[in-house]
Amino acid sequence: MLTLENVAVFYGQVPAIHDVNAAFEAGTVNFVVGPNGAGKSTLLLAIAGAVRARNGVVILDGKHISGLNSEDIVALGCSLVPEGRQVFARLTVAENLQIGLIAGRTKGAGRGDLEQVLSHFPILRSRYRQLAGTLSGGEQQQLSIARALLTRPKLMLIDEPSLGLAPLVVDGVYEVLARLRDEGLTMIVVEQQTTRVKKIGDTVTVLRDGNVSFFRSTSEIVDYGELEKAYFGFNN
């Protein structure tokens, strides 16, 4: 579904990611993990068209999407749930969701989509007319995921969904992601920690210093110590 070939992104003269090659299949949950500053967010931003790759190509379902703007990439079915949620604090929950509906540019998208998405997030239904900025962190995370879902993505990019949330709240967010996986949504999930990989991941990629240092299907991982070693850079 998604292929990256030799992707590099620079901020000024400094490479944030370089020579990144990866392939993610339809219907899978793919974790990208790595320490602070490894380039995880940059990788998602490059796929989503929010930063421009200096080198390399990104191919979504056979179509080259590197170089397209982010609005067009959303309309092609790839939606980003950004780090730190990025909900529109001064707009209501309903208005935030409306933005997702519009961004997807899908003909006929409307009430039915809203109902379906809200069925995953009952709390958003009860907060529907509330300003998004007054929601708790966990509720904002749900809103951010719901907004992305309303674009009808086939691929969803989710940047650190557990950031700043209490463990129980994180469990709730991951329950939703597991349900979406069961419905067949393809996901790339960035996390700093590896704790969730085993439970719902189909593959795991470790990024270190802007480059892929480890990639495995979780079904092939016999010893999770391997993953930890790659994460901490002890595999060389």
Interacting residue ranges for ligand ATP, rule: CB under 6 A: 11, 16, 34, 36-42, 192
- Cα(210)–Cα(11) distance, integer angstroms: 12
CB contact at 8 A, 31 and 196? yes
The nearer residue to ligand ATP, 42 or 144, going by C-beta atoms, is 42
The nearer residue to ligand ATP, 118 or 190, going by C-beta atoms, is 190
The nearer residue to ligand ATP, 41 or 140, going by C-beta atoms, is 41
Helices (H), 92-166: 93-103, 111-120, 122-126, 137-149
Look at the alpha carbons of 72, 74, 78, 79 in this order and tell me if their dihedral is positive or negative: positive
Beta bridge partners of 236: none
- Cα(8)–Cα(131) distance, integer angstroms: 38
State the DSSP code for 134: G
* Cβ atoms within 10 Å of 22's Cβ, excluding its own: 20
Helix (H, G, I), strand (E, B) or coil at 53: coil
- Residue showing tokens 């067009």: 72
CB contact at 8 A, 18 and 53? no
For the CB of residue 133, give the shortest distance to ligand ATP in the complex, in Å: 22
The nearer residue to ligand ATP, 39 or 201, going by C-beta atoms, is 39
For the CB of residue 10, give the shortest distance to ligand ATP in the complex, in Å: 9
- Residue showing tokens 């990025």: 86
The nearer residue to ligand ATP, 127 or 208, going by C-beta atoms, is 208
The pair phi, psi for residue 153, each rounded to 5°, is: -75, 150
The nearer residue to ligand ATP, 93 or 170, going by C-beta atoms, is 170
* Cβ atoms within 10 Å of 62's Cβ, excluding its own: 7
For the CB of residue 48, give the shortest distance to ligand ATP in the complex, in Å: 13
For the CB of residue 215, give the shortest distance to ligand ATP in the complex, in Å: 16
For the CB of residue 127, give the shortest distance to ligand ATP in the complex, in Å: 28
For the CB of residue 38, give the shortest distance to ligand ATP in the complex, in Å: 4
For the CB of residue 184, give the shortest distance to ligand ATP in the complex, in Å: 27
The nearer residue to ligand ATP, 77 or 205, going by C-beta atoms, is 205
Beta bridge partners of 34: none
